[in-house]
Chains A and B, each alone.
Chain A
Amino acid sequence: MTDKHYHIEDNELLQRFYADKNNEWLGILLQRYTLLLLGVCMKYLKDQEEAKDAVQQVFLKAITELHKYKVDYFKSWLYMVAKNHCLMKLRDKGKHSVEINERIMATPDEAENKNSYLEKDIELTNLAAALQQLNKEQQECLTLFYLTKKSYNEIVAHTGYTLLQVKSHIQNGKRNLKIILLKQATVK
């Protein structure tokens, strides 16, 4: 898992590929994500061999697609390629129905806009007040996770919630916090 090109950023590798269309740059780039891709495919397909095959197909697809059009946010694009590939496989098996749009995958995802809250320099008092508006569970999990820096397992032990509940309270809490702050911003 060592990478002698470690010092080169993903974006730089991608630019080098676009400059000379040499697949070796893509090889280096994709290898960085083999482990993560294997995990994503396993999460959806629930079978080790199928997950491995899926990663191979995702590699092929990525190489082909990157020759066709330009991708700006490689990591999120690759994640969408892998996720949609797995969902498509599940759909073929009749396990899942999903609408897939490859072009949407190539556009930058919302991740880049998510930091706009911070860029606008949110007042911390608003954030602290918004935190108080969440339900008890979400408030507790967010505080333990972000403010006291407890790990998931420590939060499980501390609160008695299951691991799944802890993760869900953190995710939902974050989402609700953003909604509250957005509402506050539009009222102003």
Chain B
Amino acid sequence: MNLSDLANPSRFLQLANNTIPWLSGVTVLAFAFGIDQAMIAPDDYQQGATVKIMFLHVPSAWLGMLGWGVMTVAALGTLVWRHPLADVTAKAAAPIGAAFTLLCLVTGSLWGRPEWGTYWVWDARLTSELVLLLLYLGVIALWRTVDDPSRAARAAAILTLVGAIDLPIIKFSVDWWNTLHQGASVFRLGGSTIYPTILIPLFVMAGAFTLLFATLLLAAMRNEILRRRVRTLHLLQAGAAS
């Protein structure tokens, strides 16, 4: 099996059918391990157990951004390399990334209520994350509005590339602006500032989330390919009936 197999929808379907079962099994195991680790991680001296929302909030933020990253690569695949499955990837990744972004916003809001006294504040990090959600929803709306998938693909690809500017803004918003959201503590020059007993579970959960993303992405891509086949069959049926 080589890379060119991935370009063929039928071979991809076969690959997906083989991969998804065991991949979902690994995902479940990873979550089991991650949740276990999160449970035994120590409470924060100020926040108490509330701090454990972090194990949902931070990975979903990362995955929301990863989703857009995957869509950006797929967009380049559509526009530059003309890869046959690129637009399928982009269309399948959008709702998954949007769901993770929404999860990030909701968990962050619930976390913020006891911490900051408010469900929402318009600081740079939260606003740019909300803008990311709006971008996701806009791309999904675009996919749904245009009937012919291949025409929608190019428009969505360009929109994705333009929207990718939001990703560095989210990342560096806590540095560039005065924000209520805490500053970077994991991925920063000079190393992480989080103690390993919390950092390790965080990475485990992040790994579990990534496996979940991969599983859902493969399943969604399979669905999209099948959906397009149904559409083609409809067209053939209409054409065959005199």
Is the pairing of A and B real?
A: no
Interface of A with B (CB < 8 Å)? none
